[in-house]
Amino acid sequence: MLRLLKKLGLSQDDVDLVEIPSTEDVYNNALAAHQVDVAPLGGVYIKRYLADYGAKGGTVLETGIRDDASFLYAPDAVLADPAKAAAIKSYVTYWARAQRWITDHPQEWLKAYYEDNQGLDAADGRWLIRNAGTPVIPTSWKKAIAEHQQTIDLLAAEEDQPDTKAQTLWDLRYQHVAGQAYAASGGSQ
């Protein structure tokens, strides 16, 4: 929300920020009940909100911020253990291969995950697949680290959080693993 405010030329003094849990369709309900004017929606909740409230003026503000990045967090002690570090590398490799499979098999993914596992209807699942686009799995984290630093800087200024160097939070041993595994499975980076 802070990044959206900044993009719109607003500050926290211009709005009343409200903390609400981010479970199920709580944000949609808060918007519908006029408890909030803006809320972060993602995935199928965007589709449902627009279907229910688009005709009444409900809209989506394009933030320009990717909100679908995946991160794997691990304690320093785990990363320092050679066997556990190797297991993480293996996990990341299989995760990237799975992403490639999802890209190459959208109908199977729709049925197995969105319909059977998540309980969505086929139309919602197809919408999610179409709007997800093609994964971008880089072999360089330079851009991601720079964006992370922008978020840290914003939080440091707006929320009185400590100023941290993003570079110190990333283990660059894994920088090429996912992108190379995705590409080796037939995907692009």
CB within 8 A of 14, min separation 6: which ones?
A: 5
Query: Is residue 25 within 8 Å of residue 45, measured between CB atoms?
Result: yes
Query: Is residue 105 within 8 Å of residue 188, measured between CB atoms?
Result: no
> Residue 37 burial (CB < 10 Å; 0-12/13-18/19+)?
exposed
How high is the pLDDT of residue 176? 95
- DSSP codes joined into one string, 115-146: IIIT---HHHHHHHHHHH-S----S--HHHHH
How high is the pLDDT of residue 76? 95
For each of the chain's 189 residues, which pLDDT tens digit applies? 888 888 889 989 999 998 888 777 898 889 988 899 998 888 788 888 888 899 999 998 877 766 677 889 999 999 999 999 999 999 999 999 999 999 999 999 999 999 999 999 999 999 999 988 888 899 999 999 998 999 899 889 888 888 899 999 999 999 999 999 999 988 555
As given in the structure block, the two tokens for residue 112 are 């197995």
**Overall pTM > 0.95:** no
Residue carrying the six token digits 């199920």: 24
How high is the pLDDT of residue 187? 53
Helices (H) and strands (E) in the chain, counts: 9, 0
CA distance 20 to 22: 6
CA distance 18 to 152: 21
